[in-house]
C-alpha cells in the first residue's frame, strides 16, 4: 500500500472551502487504495507573514489587518457573538480531525517526513499563491511529488517568483491545476504537461456530500448569502431583493475572522456556530444562493441550486477570485451567472432558473478525467 502525504491549507483553518477540499482529496486518494494523510504543517516565522503582506499589496494588507483588529474588538464586547464564533472553531476542529493527518509540524522541520511517504501531493486551493507558498506547498522536502488542482490565486508571478516556481517544478512527475488561466502560466515554467482538473470537492457527488452534512435549525424558507469579502453595495441589493420577496436572508458573518460592517447590516439571520457540515446544509436547502466564493459556487453546482456569483470592481485579489469562479462556471456554460455591482440583475432576471440537464453529463465526464489523472499520477 502506497503511503501518500498531502500538503494543503489545513492547519487550524476556519475556511469552509479549504476544509472541505482537503477532506475530499484525502478520501479520494484513500479510495484508490493508498494510506493517505494530510501533513499538518504550520508557519511560525515572522518573515513569512511579512512576505505575505507584501504579496497582497499595501492597500489590501492594510484592509485585512483593519478587519482583523475590528473583529477582535467586537468579540471582546459581544458575548453572544464570541460564544458563537468559539463554537464555530470547535466545529471546524472536530471536522478537521476526521481527516487522517500527521502530528503538527513547523514547515521549517517538514524534512522529517521525507522518508515517511512514497509520494507527496501539493493539494488544492491557493497553495501556489505567491504570498502563501512555502517549503511544504512546493514539496521541496519530498522525494516523489505531484500536484492536484493547485490554485495560484493571483494574476501572475514576478520574475523572482517565476524563477522560484520553475525551480520547484523541475522534480514534479505530474502537474495539474484548478483554473484554466493557470494552465498556461504554469506550463511556461514546467518541464512536463500541465493538466486542468476539477476541484476535489467536485470529485464527490451531491449524494456523497448529503451523507456528511448536518442540519441547521431553520424552519422558514430562506435565501443564503455567503460572502467572503465586504461588497456592501451588493449585499444591500441582495438584502433589498429578499425584502421584496418577503423571504429571510441568512448569512455567515466574520469569515476568516475578518470584521465587516455589512456582515451585520444586511442580514435577517446571521449564523455564527456553523461548521463545514452545516455550511453544506445551508447551501443544499436554500431557495437561492448569492456568493463571491469559489467553493460556494462549486457546491451550488453540486446541489443544482439557482445562484448568482458576484464580483467586485477593484483589487487584484478580487479580480483573481472572479477568474477562479469564471473558470469553474465556464466549464458548464454558466459564466452568465457572474454579475458585478453595476449590473445587479433585475427581478425578472434573478428569478431565471438554471437548466441543469446538460450539466450532469459534463460533470461526470470531467470527474472521470480528473480521477483518471489522479490515479495515474499516484500510479496505483
pLDDT tens by residue, 9-41: 999 899 999 999 999 999 999 999 999 999 999
Q: Which domains does the chain have, with CATH numbers?
A: 3-54+96-204+364-378 (3.40.50.11930), 214-358 (3.40.50)
Task: Kindly report each contact of residues 49-56 with a partner whose C-beta sits within 8 Å and lies 24 or more positions away, as own/partner.
Answer: 51/131, 52/131, 52/132, 53/131, 54/131, 55/129, 55/130, 55/131, 55/132, 55/154, 56/131, 56/317
pLDDT tens by residue, 41-88: 988 754 455 555 555 565 556 655 665 666 666 666 567 778 888 999
Give dist(CA 253, CA 260) in Å, integer. Answer: 8
Backbone angles phi, psi at 39, to 5 degrees: -85, 110
Question: How many other β-carbons are positioned within 10 Å of the β-carbon of residue 51?
Answer: 16
Give the pLDDT of residue 310.
85
Q: What number is the average pLDDT over the span 95-114?
A: 95
Average pLDDT score, the chain:
87
pTM of the model: 0.90
341 CB-near residues (< 8 Å, 6+ apart)? 231, 233, 234, 310, 311, 312, 313
Please compute Rg for the chain using Cα positions: 20
User: Under DSSP, is residue 142 helix (H, G, I), strand (E, B) or coil?
Assistant: coil
pLDDT at 367 over 90: yes
pLDDT at 4 over 50: yes
Amino acid at each position: 500500500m502506497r503511503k501518500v502525504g498531502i500538503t494543503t491549507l489545513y492547519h487550524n483553518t476556519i475556511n469552509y472551502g479549504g476544509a472541505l477540499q482537503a477532506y475530499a482529496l484525502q478520501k479520494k486518494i484513500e479510495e484508490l487504495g493508498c494510506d493517505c494523510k494530510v501533513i499538518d504543517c504550520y508557519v511560525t516565522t515572522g518573515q513569512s507573514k511579512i512576505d505575505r503582506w507584501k504579496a497582497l499589496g499595501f492597500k489590501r494588507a492594510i484592509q485585512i489587518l483593519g478587519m482583523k483588529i475590528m473583529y477582535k474588538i467586537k468579540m471582546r464586547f459581544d458575548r453572544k457573538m464570541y460564544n458563537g464564533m468559539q463554537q464555530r472553531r470547535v466545529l471546524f476542529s472536530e471536522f478537521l480531525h476526521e481527516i487522517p493527518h500527521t502530528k503538527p509540524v513547523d514547515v521549517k522541520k517538514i524534512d522529517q517526513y521525507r522518508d515517511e511517504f512514497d509520494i507527496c501531493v501539493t493539494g488544492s486551493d491557493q497553495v501556489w499563491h505567491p504570498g502563501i507558498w512555502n517549503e511544504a506547498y512546493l514539496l521541496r522536502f519530498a522525494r516523489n511529488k505531484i500536484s492536484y488542482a493547485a490554485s495560484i490565486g493571483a494574476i501572475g508571478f514576478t520574475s523572482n517568483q517565476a524563477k522560484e516556481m520553475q525551480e520547484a517544478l523541475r522534480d514534479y512527475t505530474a502537474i495539474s491545476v484548478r483554473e484554466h488561466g493557470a494552465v498556461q502560466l504554469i506550463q511556461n515554467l514546467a518541464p512536463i504537461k500541465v493538466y486542468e482538473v476539477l476541484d476535489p470537492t467536485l470529485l464527490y457527488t451531491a449524494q456523497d456530500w448529503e451523507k456528511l452534512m448536518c442540519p441547521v435549525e431553520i424552519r422558514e424558507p430562506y435565501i443564503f448569502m455567503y460572502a467572503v469579502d465586504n461588497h456592501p453595495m451588493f449585499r444591500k441589493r441582495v438584502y433589498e431583493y429578499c425584502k421584496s420577496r418577503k423571504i429571510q436572508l441568512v448569512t455567515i458573518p466574520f469569515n476568516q475572522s475578518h470584521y465587516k460592517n455589512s456582515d451585520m447590516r444586511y442580514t435577517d439571520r446571521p449564523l455564527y456556530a456553523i461548521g463545514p457540515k452545516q455550511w453544506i446544509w445551508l447551501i443544499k436547502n436554500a431557495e437561492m444562493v448569492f456568493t463571491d466564493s469559489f467553493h460556494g459556487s462549486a457546491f451550488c453546482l453540486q446541489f443544482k441550486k439557482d445562484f448568482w456569483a458576484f464580483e467586485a470592481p477593484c483589487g487584484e485579489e478580487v479580480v483573481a477570485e472572479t477568474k477562479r469562479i469564471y473558470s469553474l462556471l465556464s466549464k458548464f456554460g454558466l459564466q452568465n451567472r457572474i454579475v458585478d455591482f453595476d449590473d445587479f440583475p433585475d427581478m425578472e432576471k434573478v428569478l431565471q432558473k438554471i437548466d441543469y440537464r446538460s450539466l450532469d453529463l459534463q460533470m461526470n465526464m470531467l470527474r472521470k478525467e480528473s480521477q483518471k489523472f489522479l490515479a495515474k499520477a499516484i500510479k496505483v
